Amino acid sequence: MLPKLPLDKWVDRMVDSIEENLNFLFDPISAAIEGVVDFFSYLLHLPPAIVLIVLFAALAWWIMRWPMALFTFVGLFLIDNLGYWDHTMDTLALVLTSAIVSIVLGVPIGIACARNNRTQSIVTPILDFMQTMPAFVYLIPAVTFFNLGVVPGVIASVIFAVPPTIRLTNLGIRQVPADLVEAADSFGSTPSQKLFKVQLPLAVPSIMAGINQTLMLALSMVVIASLIGAQGIGADVYRAVSQIKTGKGFEAGLAIVILAIFLDRLTQHLVKGKKHADRRG
Amino acid sequence: MSIIEVTDVTKIFGEDPKRILPLLKEGWSKDRIFKETRHTVGVNRVQFAVEPGEIFVIMGLSGSGKSTLVRLLNRLIEPTGGAIRIAGQDITRLNAEQLRKVRQKKISMVFQKFALFPHRTLLENVEYGLEVQKVPKKEREPKAREALRLVGLEERADSYPEQLSGGMQQRVGLARALANDPEILLMDEAFSALDPLIRKDMQDELLELQEKMKKTIVFITHDLDEALRIGDRIALMKDGAIVQIGTPEEIMVNPANEYVERFVEDVDLSKVLTASHVMRRPETIGLDRGARVALQLMRESGISNLFVTDRSRKLIGVLTADDASEAVKRGQPLEEIVIRDTPVVAPEMLLHELFDICGTSKYPVAVVNEAGRIVGVIVRGAVLGALAGHVANREVSVDAAETTA
């Protein structure tokens, strides 16, 4: 019989060598991510809960009209009432950071894929791999490189959440009608003028759909991230599970659901809402 | 000097197009090349020159290669072989940066489906060509507004394309192409997506604009009526090659081969032939002659009307046989019986515009040149004959009438 392939050893060795040789990279990355999380966390904890609740409800009203504003107000108020406000804001800081890192990485990679078929054919299978590999597995190298805490949580969330942004940026640019691209070329646009004046603006709805998906996936990672010490509502869920407290688990889970609905509707309507405002103005 | 000079330009689509070039020279047909090499001949050794200020129409059915050909002229599609000289400069040899300059300054394009940028206002759309040249907003905005004014849409400058009808959108397309003041306009089936009435309006408007601007226009169409209406010259394409180049009249009257003939046989001749094609030699009489002479002349030529002219053959009016015999009895001079409000038409008037005049006039219709001299007469029978495909006796041309005068 064939001997077992030492695949595990190979991966371990690769991870070890990455840790040895790229160590100088991890500290600044870690510091940057931690800085962003702390910044959001600081902002979200600064005003009293009721002020933020009203602000978020106002944002919902401005972008989506009153039913969603009402839901936001009642939902967030419920979270506060149940005593999960601080943890929910920790989670929001984690999710926002993951989303921002995903956008910063994902949009340029998506653009690169759209401009070059070979890049696309290399990136696509990697994305498939990233999305199908069980998310827990990313925790191991994330901890190896970044220790415990919120930073490996963000890293694992980004790996899991970035593919939709890349895919939909790529798709959005590729779906710009050929005659518009031709028109841009026919007036002597440089490739970057064409990208920024025609292709990207027209790809915005698709890119926003990708960002929306990314946010949702990042949110779905918060419980998993809590396994490696990321604070927030995910940790509450995890604790409830390990102690078999159904009621607590439901409360914490509900808080995540409310946050998810709020973020989902907000990002879905961002493009449409803004367009309306422009037209009216 | 020709502003566009296209020599031996070929476009072959496929894996190794250069390999196919010699086969074309050996005379392989498009079909054979496709069957044996899986390469598609898009444009086959095309040759033509366009003069400054000319509207050059390239016409053919879908798949004839006309849209590919027009894209070769600004290298939106790279030619496989041949030379394309724009104002003497072979653009097939330019690098990317030089090519961008040519596209920015010299050649603009108007697209079949308008291709307006939906996220930009009309003004921003029209500014686009100047914007990519980095012309500052202050300079490009007045130019863009002026271009919008030319097409009658300055009031809608802040609208978005989706708020406009098709015809209006294409006006914006035209304004966008005109804003950077190019020497050459490429119009790819620019009016084909519009409904027929709007299309005709746009053709008229284009001709009107062209009167003022004198651009060189290469116009692609599959519609022969459109080609005949707006083209100074027409190139007919089939299977990627040009079959015939000529003025609309040459193509109609002398089709180069069976293909062109079949193409033009369904054409509404009344929109191509003019009064000068169907007019007959007019019988005239000087105003200083008497009614008796007039009657004699009519009897000799077997007609019942005569045109009355002065000594320089300028038309004065028409004389009927009845009036003339009355005048003979009463001894009146021609002066008193000539009918002066007789209908006249110019030699360039199209046949279909003649129908109405011929149908309602009691008298034969005189064809009068710019100087007011009579050069011919329109007889109903000749109009019908021309529509049936018998172009009138060509010896009576405008020039001939002048010399006999």
Residue A189 with chain B: CB contacts under 8 Å: 100, 132
The answer to whether position A129 is within a domain reads: yes
pLDDT band (50, 70, 90) for residue B397 = very low
Q: Quote the pLDDT of residue B126.
A: 95
Interface of A with B in 137-156 (CB under 8 A): none
B271 — contact with chain A (CB < 8 Å)? no
Given a cut of 90, whether residue B330 has pLDDT beyond it is no
The answer to whether position A18 is within a domain reads: no
CA distance A215 to chain B (A): 26
Q: Answer whether A252's CB lies under 8 Å from A233's CB.
A: yes
Q: Is B61 helix (H, G, I), strand (E, B) or coil?
A: coil
Residue B188 with chain A: CB contacts under 8 Å: none
Contacts of A236 (CB under 8 A, 6+ apart): A84, A87, A248, A251, A252, A255
Tell me the average pLDDT of chain B: 86
CA distances in angstroms from B236 to B52, B172, B192, B219, B254, listed in the order given:
20, 28, 17, 12, 13
Contact between chains at B131 and A185 (C-beta distance less than 8 A): no
A278 — contact with chain B (CB < 8 Å)? no
Read off the pTM: 0.74
Radius of gyration for chain B, computed over Cα atoms and rounded to the nearest angstrom: 27
CA distance B212 to chain A (A): 23
Residue B102 with chain A: CB contacts under 8 Å: 188
The answer to whether position A105 is within a domain reads: yes
Q: What is the dihedral of CA B27, B29, B34, B36, to 10 degrees?
A: -60
Closest residue, chain A, to B109 (C-alpha): A186
Q: Quote the pLDDT of residue B6.
A: 94
Domain containing A66 equals 28-280
Contact between chains at B117 and A180 (C-beta distance less than 8 A): yes
For chain A, list residues with pLDDT below 70: 272-281
A185 — contact with chain B (CB < 8 Å)? yes
A279 — contact with chain B (CB < 8 Å)? yes
CA distance B117 to chain A (A): 7
The answer to whether position A5 is within a domain reads: no
Contact between chains at A193 and B132 (C-beta distance less than 8 A): yes
CB pairs under 8 A between A and B: 59
Mean pLDDT of B365-376: 86
**Which of A180, A197, A279 shows the shortest C-beta gap to B115?**
A180
Given a cut of 90, whether residue B335 has pLDDT beyond it is no
Q: Is B96 helix (H, G, I), strand (E, B) or coil?
A: helix
B259 — contact with chain A (CB < 8 Å)? no
Domain total of chain A: 1
CATH number at residue A184: 1.10.3720.10
Burial zone of B250 (CB within 10 Å; 0-12 exposed, 13-18 middle, 19+ buried): middle
The more confident residue out of A133 and B220 is B220
DSSP B276: H
Q: Quote the pLDDT of residue B402.
A: 36
**Which of B119, B128, B160 shows the shortest C-beta gap to A187?**
B128
B104 — contact with chain A (CB < 8 Å)? yes
ipTM attached to this prediction: 0.77
The more confident residue out of B73 and B364 is B73
Domains of chain B as residue ranges with CATH:
4-106+182-267 (3.40.50.300), 275-404 (3.10.580.10)
Q: Quote the pLDDT of residue B390.
A: 62
Q: Answer whether B281's CB lies under 8 Å from B376's CB.
A: yes
Contact between chains at A183 and B108 (C-beta distance less than 8 A): no
Which of these, A99, A60, A92, lies nearest to A217 by C-alpha position?
Answer: A99
Residue B124 with chain A: CB contacts under 8 Å: none
The answer to whether position A2 is within a domain reads: no
The answer to whether position A189 is within a domain reads: yes
pLDDT tens for B101-143 read 999 999 999 999 999 999 999 999 999 999 999 999 999 999 9
The answer to whether position A63 is within a domain reads: yes
Burial zone of A199 (CB within 10 Å; 0-12 exposed, 13-18 middle, 19+ buried): buried
Amino acid identity of residue A4, one-letter, is K
The answer to whether position A4 is within a domain reads: no
pLDDT band (50, 70, 90) for residue B170 = very high
